[in-house]
Amino acid sequence: MTVALPTAYRPCVGIMLVNPANQVFVARRIDMSSDAWQMPQGGIDPGEEPHEAALRELAEETGTDKAVIVGESREWMKYDLPVEMIGQLWKGRFRGQTQKWFLLRFTGTDSDINIATETPEFTEWKWLEPEKLPDVIVPFKRDIYRQVLAEFLPLLRGG
């Protein structure tokens, strides 16, 4: 017997937060046993514009709003969850996520970041060289991270 997989993708935003040294904020999820890190991301609420969701998610996940949007992905990017994870997330309604990514320039100091938020999602965080992002993410999101890098690295380099 085969089980039908959901066909819908969860609308979501992703945030590449960069500091003045062009390093990227990454954090380790509180609900994952793996050694994987990720950039902030989250769902878009009904009636919310993607850029509004990006700023809200940044505050909810990092405890700071000290950032400005300096770039936005041209396209929505999709990824599929591994089949064994589909029933575990989002009540099994989605096969993955479709994401609009935003590049944000951090305008605060490290002390402005506080991942011990009202509903914490991360156990620790650090700044990372952008090129290392695909090496630290869970395998099923690596292609998305490579796409985000391809689009945003020229902006980081002033191109």
Predicted confidence (pLDDT) at residue 125 exceeds the cutoff of 70? yes
Q: How does pLDDT run across 46-100, given as a tens digit for each residue? A: 999 999 999 999 999 999 999 999 999 999 999 888 777 666 666 667 778 899 9
83: in domain: yes
Q: What is the CATH number of the domain that holds 36?
A: 3.90.79.10
103: in domain: yes
Q: Which SS3 state, helix, strand or coil, does residue 55 take?
A: helix
Predicted confidence (pLDDT) at residue 7 exceeds the cutoff of 80? no
1: in domain: no
127: in domain: yes
Cα(46)–Cα(48) distance, integer angstroms: 6
2: in domain: no
Counted domains in the chain: 1
Asked whether the beta carbons of 65 and 59 are under 8 A apart, the reply is yes
4: in domain: no
Cα(66)–Cα(25) distance, integer angstroms: 13
Q: Residue 34: name the closest of 120, 140, 119 by CA.
A: 140
Chain centre distance of CA 156: 17
- The pLDDT value given to residue 129: 97
31: in domain: yes
- The pLDDT value given to residue 93: 73
pTM of the shown model = 0.90
Higher pLDDT residue, 17 or 118?
17
Average pLDDT over residues 147-151: 96
- The pLDDT value given to residue 31: 77
3: in domain: no
In DSSP terms, 17 is beta-bridged to 104
Cβ burial of 5 (10 Å; 0-12, 13-18, 19+) is middle
- The pLDDT value given to residue 133: 95
Cα(114)–Cα(135) distance, integer angstroms: 25
Average pLDDT over residues 143-157: 93
Percentage of residues in the chain with pLDDT exceeding 70?
90
Instruction: Print the domain residue range for 107.
Output: 9-156
- The pLDDT value given to residue 1: 46
